[in-house]
Amino acid sequence: MQANILDTKYPLIQGPMNWVTNAELVAAVSNGGGLGVLGTNAGQATLTTEPTAVGDKMRREIDKTQRLTQLPFGINILTNSNDEKLQDEPYTAALLTAAFDAGIHYFVVVGTENQEIFDLIKQHDGIIIFRPLTSSVALAKAGEAMGADIIVATGHDEGGLLPDTELGNFTIVPEIVDQVSVAVFAAGGINDRRSVEAALALGAAGIFVGTRFLVADEAPVAPSIKELIVQSNSEDTVMVSGNQRAIRTPHTQQLADQYLQSHDAVAANRAVAQDGGLLEGMLLGNPDHGIVTVNNGIGMIKRIEPAAAIINSYFK
């Protein structure tokens, strides 16, 4: 790994996971030796629609995190297209301003490469961790050319919004490693030490982990949902849309059946969002709304434990 660009004990980045991160989890990951990352709605339980309020809430969550750790952590920035202008994205601008004002140096940019946003982060001495939603050699090269310091190669094994292709880690990670000169971190289904060793053997410089931290003691996920995750096996999942996997419940089985009948991915994703998504299903723990999205290896997740213990299980 290039001169320990993360400045962390271990080469591990915690996935931002939108609603289901907060200061406590992020600080615990950083204190445990990884890089904690605040999601765009970290620490929140209600949707905020005014850009200034979005920035203010992120400032407060950053401040909470800084009071819990003296170690580096980052925030999540979402990009929708490579030519979008920051002046047309007030929420992104508010999050960036809050981070710059607080001296944050690590930015997990998820979506597409964007020169304006990349340049702005670099102007503030930021480190860019670029994670395309659908990993490809072309996007990795484009991100590197625009200044990304780390590329995250994501296999279809992951939780959250899945790649548009079904390429797994054993395909996409070495393909990207062979084509870029910056560090590549592997993401998707990395739930134990064996999967870490496999990722490193494929040439990855480190790992990018989301699902495993859902059951950390410090995670804001509802206790009932943490129990559901550790009690579920890897076959206990359904596809509720073309790019969202969820633990099977009576409610998510209905969503999956609707998608199977319609094959309309856009309508299925709209239905999941209108139903509450991660906010209802994971943060609030409502079994009749939303979804619990996980990677496809949850059968390896056996216990609820501190974030530091999870990190140690990967590297010790």
Which is more confidently placed, 316 or 300?
300
Do 21 and 162 lie in one domain? The reply is: yes
Do 240 and 210 lie in one domain? The reply is: no
> With 90 as the cut, is the pLDDT of residue 287 above it?
no
Do 32 and 149 lie in one domain? The reply is: yes
Q: Are 190 and 197 in contact (CB under 8 A)?
A: no
> With 70 as the cut, is the pLDDT of residue 274 above it?
yes
Q: Is 97 exposed, middle or buried (0-12, 13-18, 19+ CB in 10 A)?
A: middle
Computed over its alpha carbons, how large is the radius of gyration of the chain? 18
CA distance 129 to 110: 8
Q: What pLDDT does 1 receive?
A: 40
> With 90 as the cut, is the pLDDT of residue 3 above it?
no
- Which whole-number Å values give the CA distances from 220 to 23, 26, 179, 192, 208, in the listed order? 10, 11, 38, 22, 19
CA distance 83 to 24: 35
Copy the structure tokens of residue 286: 């409502």
Which of 61-65, 81-85, 121-125 shows the lowest per-residue confidence on average (mean pLDDT)?
81-85
DSSP tag of 272: H
What phi and psi values does residue 238 have, to the nearest 5 degrees?
A: -135, 155
Do 186 and 101 lie in one domain? The reply is: yes
Do 198 and 268 lie in one domain? The reply is: no
Do 208 and 289 lie in one domain? The reply is: no
Percent of the chain with pLDDT over 70: 99
- Average pLDDT for 37-55: 94
- Tell me what the pLDDT averaged over the chain comes to: 95
Alpha helices in the chain (DSSP H): 23-31, 51-68, 90-101, 115-123, 137-146, 169-177, 193-201, 223-231, 250-262, 265-275, 277-278, 307-315
CA distance 207 to 199: 7
Do 207 and 286 lie in one domain? The reply is: no
Do 154 and 265 lie in one domain? The reply is: no
Q: Distance between the two ends of the chain, CA-based, in angstroms?
A: 18
Q: How many domains in the chain?
A: 2
Q: Are 257 and 18 in contact (CB under 8 A)?
A: no
At 93, the amino acid letter reads A
Do 249 and 162 lie in one domain? The reply is: no
- Which whole-number Å values give the CA distances from 190 to 29, 88, 103, 204, in the listed order? 16, 36, 30, 12
CA distance 123 to 117: 10
Q: What pLDDT does 316 receive?
A: 84
CA distance 14 to 254: 31
CA distance 184 to 170: 13
Interval 68-101: pLDDT, tens: 999 999 999 999 888 889 999 999 999 999 999 9
Q: What pLDDT does 2 receive?
A: 44
CA distance 43 to 17: 11
- Give the CA angle between residues 62, 103, 78 to the nearest 5°: 65
Do 132 and 232 lie in one domain? The reply is: no
Do 160 and 101 lie in one domain? The reply is: yes
- The closest alpha carbon to 195, from 212, 178, 183, belongs to 212
Do 294 and 307 lie in one domain? The reply is: no
Interval 252-269: pLDDT, tens: 999 999 999 999 989 999
CA distance 176 to 28: 30
- Average pLDDT for 282-286: 94
Q: Are 210 and 14 in contact (CB under 8 A)?
A: yes
- Average pLDDT for 124-129: 97
Which is more confidently placed, 98 or 161?
98
Residues spanned by the domain of 280: 223-300
